[in-house]
Amino acid sequence: MLLDILAFGAHPDDVELFAGGTLAKMAALGYATGVVDMTRGELGTRGTAQLRRQEAQKAAEVLGLKVRDNLGLPDGDVPVTPAARLKVIRKLRQYRPKLVLTHYWDDRHPDHVNTSRLVAEAIHHAGLAKIKTGQERYRPKTLLYFKLTANLTPSFVVDVTDYTGQRNAAIAAYRSQLFDPSSREPSTNLSQPDFLTHVESIHSFYGTLIGKIKGEAFYLKGTLEIQDPVRHFSDPK
């Protein structure tokens, strides 16, 4: 299975929260999309690794993903090591995506930071012929970062207005992590009653930057090349 877009998230639900609308939109446009979770979320305060695996599969169905994988790296201690990097390299060479998405590197959660670094390193190393995995070498040309810091200007924003419901349904699949007044488990940031409202406000803000209702922001290192400015800036409608 070859993919057009492959997103790497540190934990199940990370990608859904900040790039779920984009993945849903790309799937609707006919692109093959996938998500690789680095960990099983076993250190999460709420739920279990088994339950989160079930929730991740449900979310994958909602988003129309072709692939949902998990590398099984240790939650809370995602390692930036040759062994971990090799796991990512194998996935890149297996699925050969045109675009790769992952966490922006400036983040309070160390797993998000290490995932960002690990994916960036693996993209480079996946193109080295002397790293043997029994697969053809392959280096994706484009790495995009999601979950940007508040003071960072995005490289671009994707209009996901028509896919807000689909993204929210994928997020809602993670019932163990979200607000549940009947739950007796300890509370977390995600389980606060206003957490999803906060997430929606972020997407609303990015939407205003492009004159749309909802948007998802991405950052690209370097300068974005545009082959056809007329086509790119023309109104698709």
Q: What is the mean pLDDT of the chain?
A: 94
Is a pLDDT exceeding 80 seen at residue 28?
Answer: yes
Mean pLDDT of 183-211: 88
Mean pLDDT of 164-192: 85
Mean pLDDT of 128-142: 97
- pLDDT, tens only, 55-78: 999 999 999 999 999 999 999 999
pLDDT band per the 50, 70, 90 thresholds, residue 176? confident
The neighbour count for residue 106, using CB atoms within 10 Å, is 14
Helix or strand or coil: residue 145?
Answer: strand
The pLDDT of residue 153 is 96
Counting Cβ atoms within 10 Å, is residue 88 exposed (0-12), middle (13-18) or buried (19+)?
buried
Provide the number of structural domains found in the chain: 1
Here the CATH number for the domain that contains residue 222 is 3.40.50.10320
Is a pLDDT exceeding 90 seen at residue 25?
Answer: yes
The pLDDT of residue 181 is 78
| Tokens 């979200």 found at | 178
The pLDDT of residue 236 is 67
The pLDDT of residue 188 is 80
Mean pLDDT of 8-14: 96
Cα→Cα distances 133→3, 53, 115, 175, 201, Å? 19, 27, 21, 37, 43
The pLDDT of residue 237 is 60
- pLDDT, tens only, 89-119: 999 999 999 999 999 999 999 999 999 999 9
CB 161 within 8 A of CB 214: yes
The pLDDT of residue 108 is 94
Mean pLDDT of 202-219: 97
Quickly list DSSP for 161-221: GGGHHHHHHHHHT-TTTS--TT--SPP-STTSTTHHHHHHHHHHHHHHHTTSS-EEEEB-S
Domain of 170 in residue numbering reads as 5-233
Is a pLDDT exceeding 80 seen at residue 191?
Answer: no
The pLDDT of residue 233 is 84
The neighbour count for residue 58, using CB atoms within 10 Å, is 17
Q: Note the pTM of the prediction, 2 decimals.
A: 0.94
Cα→Cα distances 86→14, 54, 188, Å? 22, 26, 33
- pLDDT, tens only, 32-48: 999 999 999 998 888 78
CB 102 within 8 A of CB 9: yes
Cα→Cα distances 108→49, 114, 176, 199, Å? 22, 11, 22, 16
Mean pLDDT of 169-193: 82
Is a pLDDT exceeding 80 seen at residue 51?
Answer: yes
Mean pLDDT of 145-158: 96
